Amino acid sequence: MTELTELTARETAQLVAAGEITAREAVEARLARIGEVEELVGSFLRVDGEGAREMAAGVDRKVAAGEDPGILAGVPLALKDLICVEGREITCGSRILEGFVSPYDATVVRKLRAAGAVFLGQANMDEFAMGSSTENSAFHPTRNPWDLGRVPGGSSGGSAAAVAAAEAAGALGSDTGGSIRQPAAFCGVAGMKPTYGRVSRYGLVPYASSLDQIGPLARDVGDIALLLEAISGHDPLDSTSAPLPVPRFREQLGKDIAGVRLGVPRECYAEGMEPGVEAAFRGALEVFRELGAEVVEVELPRIPHGVACYYILSTAEASSNLARFDGVQYGWRSPAGETLAGLYESTRREGFGEEVKRRIILGTYVLSSGYYQAYYGRALKVRRLIKDDFDRAFSLCDSIVMPTSPTAAFELGARAGDILGMYLSDIFTIGVNLAGLPAISVTGGFDPRGLPVGIQVIAPAFEEERIIRTASAFEGAAGFRDRRPVLPGPRAAGPGPS
């Protein structure tokens, strides 16, 4: 039999449900893999081996009793460290929440439990999802499994690296401006940002509530479809959740795309794009043409303004959302504050990292009296214009295809002093969040250094089926799906975390 860590989520669930392997065996294989490579990669903040084994035992009892174990029977998953899991520590990659134990499950967690999934632990992330490299984690950076001297992307870098390193069969992340798609691209895996409202945000610690969306990361598009089915659906606990039925996304796998019109924005050939990324993207377009798709040029003229718009709106929302971390209700409380105001000030100064402080300050500024309309009000208008650009483009095509990032994974520390350069990492992903659209990143090729290059497929709102169909057809024809990073020899072998 194939090594259990080489199985897709679909294969794992099928074998567990059929009784050919046990959920416990699937989990032990992943825990052993974590024991082998985690010291090198640093995908996780916390691994709960005993909790995972208990969940696996519950799945195995259902199989033995002849009950339906669920569509994700025994599938070992990593969860980004801002998705609440009852009884587990959730820190959002921040010292200010160190030691906080969630008293409840997020809706997506409840859905995954019902589907038979098993939770391995909390994946590393940029603090409060603010970053594009996972270097902003308050605990440790995560390294890219393709090159341990490079970043995995962010802010869901731990989730993407865990899948790429075969530590997990799949993962959940969150995407506010590209935080699922960009690390998926850097780590050579698939990652999807669903339509805003497709997946409940209840139990997701917010960064920017009008932009945040939970989504899956996995080895391939087939697993993305499976995970998306499991977590989608209306939730009365989330007022932004759309009251729509959940399609059977897996039915789109393997369908041809002959005659599909794919729009390529002329703006995607931006200054600063690495030659290797452009070459991989042009090669991907040739694959689409060979599959019978028609590639047409479209325009998204306001894409270059998306970064400025995003960093006004998202930081304004972050300024409000993060006001709850004050040292009074939960999380870190500074011993230095002698007055209530002093407690607030010292707790936030000590608990938040530099990037979080930077964004809170910026967001507070753009919301302040005298500047609100000049910045926040104008950014809202630009956001609407960006959505209008996408609407016009979709009148000419079925889906849009463009690079996920203008570069492949950069070296750790390379952009530590280049804040603007770091923010521009998301220039191709931000517009999708501003417009509330669904998009997936899949591996579109490799650059001359052997680093993965991601391409995005974007569709109109609630048209994830188009994306699954198009991306799976490409993935099957391109031949990149089975390429895996080769990690150095393990430093710590053994049965895995306890």
Q: Are 24 and 51 in contact (CB under 8 A)?
A: no
Does the annotation mark 200 as catalytic?
no
Catalytic position from the list 62, 80, 111, 193: 80
In order, the DSSP letters of 49-72 are HHHHHHHHHHHHHHHHTT----TT
Residue 109 and residue 47 in contact, taking contact as beta carbons nearer than 8 Å: no
CA–CA separation, 351 and 353 (whole Å):
7
Residue of 179, 200, 232, 241 with catalytic role: 179
Q: Judge whether 76 and 169 are in contact, CB under 8 Å.
A: yes
| Pick from 29, 306, 288: nearest CA to 169 | 29
319 classed as catalytic: no
Tokens of 335: 């011993």
Does the annotation count 387 as an active-site position? Answer: no
Within 267-425, residue ranges assigned H as helices are 275-290, 306-321, 340-351, 354-366, 378-394, 419-423
As given in the structure block, the two tokens for residue 479 are 């031949």
Catalytic residue from among 43, 132, 133, 155: 155
- Residue 85 one-letter amino acid: V
Residues 286, 289, 294, 298, Cα dihedral to 10°: -10
Q: Which amino acid is at 304?
A: P
Q: How far is CA 330 from CA 79, 324, 467, in A?
A: 22, 9, 40
- DSSP-derived letter for residue 493 is -
Nearest to 479 by CA among 251, 292, 284: 284
Going by their DSSP bridges, the two strands 294-298 and 261-265 should be labelled as: parallel
Residues marked active site are found at: 80, 155, 179
